[in-house]
Each structure stands twice: as C-alpha cells, then as structure tokens.
Amino acid sequence: MPKITYLGAGSTVFAKNVLGDCMQTPALAEAEFALFDIDLERLKDSEQMLLNLAASTENTKVTIKAYTDRKEALRGASYVINSIQVGGYDPCTITDFEVPKKYGLRQTIADTLGIGGLFRSLRTIPVMLDFAQEMQEVCPDAWFLNYTNPMAALTGAMIRHGGIKTVGLCHSVQGCATGLLRDLGIENKNIKHSIAGINHMAWLLDITKDGEDLYPEIKRRAIEKNASEKHGDMVRYEMMHRFGFYVTESSEHNAEYLPYFIKSNYPELIERFNIPLDEYPRRCVNQIAGWEKMREEMVNNKALEHKRTHEYASYILEAMETDVPFKIGGNVLNQGGLISNLPEKAVVEVPCLVDKNGVQPTYVGELPEQLAALNRTNINTQLLTIEAAISGSKDTLYQAAFLDPHTSAELSLDDIVSLCDDLIEAHGAWLPQFHGKQVSV
C-alpha cells in the first residue's frame, strides 16, 4: 500500500482535512502516513490528532508515524503532500507587511503576488528544491502535491528545476461557480461551467443551466448588488463588469494582483470596494489566539470524527491507485501551449484528468485576449521571481518587482529597489541565495 508523506504536518487543521480524507478512501485504507514538520510540538499534536481520528474511523488500517528526519520521512514515498510556510507569521509574514508600509505600500494577503508574495516565493523555493533533491534520492517516482502558496511560482520551480512530478492544488476552482450563484441567489442545479487561467486568477469562461447562458443574469445581479450594498466580493464583481468574466479567487486576493484598487492617491477606493487591508496578519493573529481551544477540541479528542472534504488530494491518490479517472483543476506547466496565448514556461490552472497514468492536463486553447493580458501581468513577475530565486541576482529580483502590477502602480523604480534591499536585509538568513549560499537545482 502507498506511503503518503506530509511535509508541513504541523498544519494540524489542514492535515486533518487532507489525511482524514485519505482515511475515508477505501483504496488508501492501509496506507502509511509519514509526518514531518520542523516544529516538533505541532508535529506531535498532528500525530496524536491523526491517531485519534484513525481509532474512530471505521474500515481504516492506516499506520501513522512522525519523523524528525525529513529524508527518512520521504524514503519510499508514493505521494508527497506539501503545505509548509517558510518563516511563518513571525518573523516573515510580519516583515512582508511592515517593511512595505514604510513606503506607503499596503497589502491584503501577500501570499501570491505583490511584494509580499514575491518575497514569500524567494524564501520558499530554496526549501522546496531541497525537498526535490532528497526526493530524487529516496522516492524519485513520487508525485508531489503542492498546496503551498505562491502556487504558480513554487509549482513552476519544482517542475522546471526540481525534476519531480508535481501538480499544484488550490481550493478556489471547486467553489467558484457555486459560490457565485449562491451569493447572487441563483439556483445551483444542472449547471455546467469551465474554468482556466492561472492560480488565483483563473476565469469562469462559461456557465450554463440546462443549456442557457447564465452570464447575462449573473452580470445584471452583480452590478445591482455592487450598487446597492457593501459586501465581500466587490472587486471581483467590478472586474467581471469591466473585463467580462468572473475570476476564481477572492476579492481581497485580487485587489492586490491588479493596479486598480489599492492606491494611495485614491484612498476612497478602499472604502468603495470594501477592501480589507492587512487581512492576512489579522487572520494569523486570530488563529494563533484560538489555537489552544482548537487544540483541545482536536488533539485531545479521543472521539474525533471527520467527513470527506472537497480537497483534491485524496481523490487524486484514489484515481492513481484505482485507475478510475477523476477530473481536477490542476496547476501544471503550460507545456505545449495548453493555454495558447500564455507563455509555455508559465504554470496554468486548467482541467486535468487523473488516473493511473498520473495528472494529464487538457488543452484549453486561447483565452479571451483581455483575460490572457491580465494573466500575463502576473506571469511576468512569477517567471522573473523563479529566476531570481535560482540565480540570487538582485537585478532580476528588482525586475520582478518592477513588473508587479500593484507595486509598480504605487512606487517609483528607485523606491522599489530600496524596498527590495530593505526586505533582503530584514529577512536575512531566510533568503540564502542573496547572502552567498547556493540554491539546490
């Protein structure tokens, strides 16, 4: 039976969802769960949580083992699931927000694009390439399932420089259409839709009900809702109004992927589009504060239960083990021009078929040109960020930041260089490639 290695297993809640799903999957009923995390206390918590869950789950014979040696955790793995966060909330996420504020640059989430997402990529890529190097030694045929952000840059680095079979997985595709219809009061039955683009900026290309195009009614209701009330999805509705299509990831995310919404010269836009600045640090503080209560409910609960979630991981593993096909929205290299008007080096989010042959992406063709153009503004920074992470070139890092839509809309070239230098200094050893240390490739 397969060995499933979980890197970042101290993410106890997410480990419960992903590995709890695997416990509910008959094809994985006798799998080995190999847990690894650098935080030994959180690792122990997750191990105890999963032992409790296994004891209360019928028809599962999984074995669960926590490792302090990463290579041993990886040895012989069939699948590796990744949900690490390099540097955590303190010190790195705080740094990603507080240093840019000195330049008047404000952010919401800072985990995908923007100056915060760029630096999160820079400190995470070397760690993930170390994973890849160890996998090449001890489990070269394993599939690497990446849940860590920035999704496109990290997945691209693993595929292009790690030599490991990799797919990036995100929640935003599964809930996009249903969430939109629910929020607009449209019945969600007999719906067909298609989605493609890049992670956190993929597009609902079409949506029909019983063969009828729903977009005209969706747009009518969205315009009315934006005009009549404050709500949490105003940026996406505005983008749909201006560019014609709805985007997969939330408004607080997309506000910082674009040059239109967070602008120091137009502070009224923050209120108008209900943009929650500093949202990710706020969530982190709340999660940290609430962990002890949650810990009691999860780690020390001998009767812990779980229902299979919509996370893709267990369904992917099930399809590969049983050869019964399953369709996902996966992040893969745009090799062969899956989306023909995006660069081949880019990581795109497209429908993929999964079976015993692995993850097989489908051809999409051209996106509407305005959507491809928006995607390319993000891809430009993603590709240069990967290059900077590998090379340790400050010039390439500066160029990645120059091309970032939000950063370049707010700061001058000189200020961007100064900001990058300040962030390199503040992050210190978290950015080894800029301090004379070799990155694994």
Domains belonging to the chain, first-starting first, are 3-91+110-171+296-319 (3.90.1820.10), 175-279 (no CATH), 369-434 (no CATH)
At 121 the pLDDT is: 98
Dihedral Cα 9, 248, 256, 368, nearest 10 deg: 140
- Give the amino acid at 389: A
Q: Are 64 and 34 in contact (CB under 8 A)?
A: no
State the burial class of residue 55 (Cβ atoms within 10 Å of its Cβ: 0-12, 13-18, 19+). Answer: exposed
At 296 the pLDDT is: 87
* 293 Cβ contact partners less than 8 Å away, ≥ 6 residues apart: none
Q: Are 247 and 229 in contact (CB under 8 A)?
A: no
Q: Are 272 and 266 in contact (CB under 8 A)?
A: no
* 149 appears as a binding residue in the annotation: yes
* 304 Cβ contact partners less than 8 Å away, ≥ 6 residues apart: 49, 52, 53, 56, 298
* 265 appears as a binding residue in the annotation: no
State the burial class of residue 119 (Cβ atoms within 10 Å of its Cβ: 0-12, 13-18, 19+). Answer: buried
DSSP letters, 406-425, are: HHHHHS-HHHHHHHHHHHHH
Burial 208-232 (b: 16+ CB within 10 A, else e): ebeeeebbeebbebbeebbeeeeee
Q: Give the whole-angstrom CA distance, residue 240 versus residue 235.
A: 9
Q: Are 17 and 309 in contact (CB under 8 A)?
A: yes
* 352 appears as a binding residue in the annotation: no
> Active-site residue numbers?
171
Q: What is the largest CA-CA distance in the chain?
A: 62
Which residue has 């000189």 as its token pair?
414
Each residue's pLDDT, cut to its tens digit, for the chain (441 residues) gives 899 999 999 999 999 999 999 999 999 999 999 999 999 999 999 999 999 999 999 999 999 999 999 999 999 999 999 999 999 999 999 999 999 999 999 999 999 999 999 999 999 999 999 999 999 999 999 999 999 999 999 999 999 999 999 999 998 999 999 999 999 999 999 999 999 999 999 999 999 999 999 999 999 999 999 999 999 999 999 999 999 999 999 999 999 999 999 999 999 999 999 999 999 999 999 999 998 888 888 998 999 999 999 999 999 999 999 999 999 999 999 999 999 999 999 999 999 999 999 999 999 999 999 999 999 999 999 999 999 999 999 999 999 999 999 999 999 999 999 999 999 999 999 999 998 877 776
Instruction: Of 142, 387, 149, 129, give the one whose Cα is nearest residue 256.
Output: 149
Q: Give the whole-angstrom CA distance, residue 311 versus residue 190.
A: 22
CA gyration radius, the chain: 21
- Among left, alpha and beta (phi > 0; psi -120 to 50; other), residue 184 is alpha
At 29 the pLDDT is: 94
